[in-house]
Amino acid sequence: MFTGIVTDIGEVVAVDPLAEGLTRLKIACSYGPDTIDIGASIACSGVCLTVVSRGRDGNRGWFAVDAAAETLRITTVGAWRSGTRINLERALKVGDELGGHIVAGHADGLATLIARDDLTDMARLTFRAPAELARFIAPKGSVALDGVSLTVNEVADDTFTVLIIPHTLAVTTLGALAVGNEVNLEVDLMARYAARLMEKRASSE
């Protein structure tokens, strides 16, 4: 589990196709390699991936993960290339501060940036969500976009708006987004569970 609070921006430095539809990605980061366990989970722009190796190239640490065909198909991971910058968050530990919201690291789909307004003290980003996910997004609710925990400001049909403060723009990849870019979208787990309960209640009446 994660909180949607990004702790580093990593850089993809190698993408190597493997057998059986797997792709291995080597990601440079500021985490000390000795602090990363093999088998640990790291959220990479909102996608939970398992560390299969780690090391250091000069002064720079790195870790490698394997992405399966399904992950490559439904997330932005399939478009990552050498030089791609990604948001990183290590798995939540018992006792850690829950600064964002509960994030599973299981991207539900892709949201597309359709408008960006850079204001004096923040940026207003408007996204279009897949129709099957839009019903889980509500004003004042939570979403994770490329692994960043955000509060929804406005909702209209299949579009929603978030306001991004300067700090978040500076320490995540959201600051570099342009209209037409896609991000990994994870809807709020609580919203999904609530909708499921409502569906069950309606079907039993």
| CATH number of the domain to which 189 belongs | 2.40.30.20
Residue of 92 and 113 predicted with greater confidence: 113
Predicted TM-score (pTM) of this structure: 0.91
Question: Which of 50, 53, 159, 161 is an active site residue?
Answer: 50
In a domain, 204, yes or no: no
Residue 2 lies in a domain: no
**1 is a domain residue:** no
Task: Express each pLDDT in 61-89 by its tens digit.
Answer: 999 999 999 999 999 999 999 999 999 99
For the question of residue 151 being annotated catalytic, the response is: yes
86 shares a domain with 116: no
Check 48, 111, 123, 129 and give the catalytic one: 48
41 catalytic residue (yes or no):
yes
Q: How confident is the model at residue 110 (pLDDT cuts 50, 70, 90)?
A: very high
Q: pLDDT (tens digit, 9 = 90+) per residue, 161-170?
A: 999 999 999 9
60 in any annotated domain: yes
Domain for residue 156, yes or no? Answer: yes
**Cα–Cα distance for residue pair 78/95, rounded to 1 Å:** 34
- Is residue 19, in this structure, part of any structural domain at all? yes
Number of independent structural domains in the chain? 2
Domain holding 142, by residue range, is 109-199
Residue 98 lies in a domain: no
For the question of residue 2 being annotated catalytic, the response is yes
Q: Is residue 100 part of a domain?
A: no
Tell me if residue 75 is catalytic: no
Do 188 and 118 share a structural domain? yes
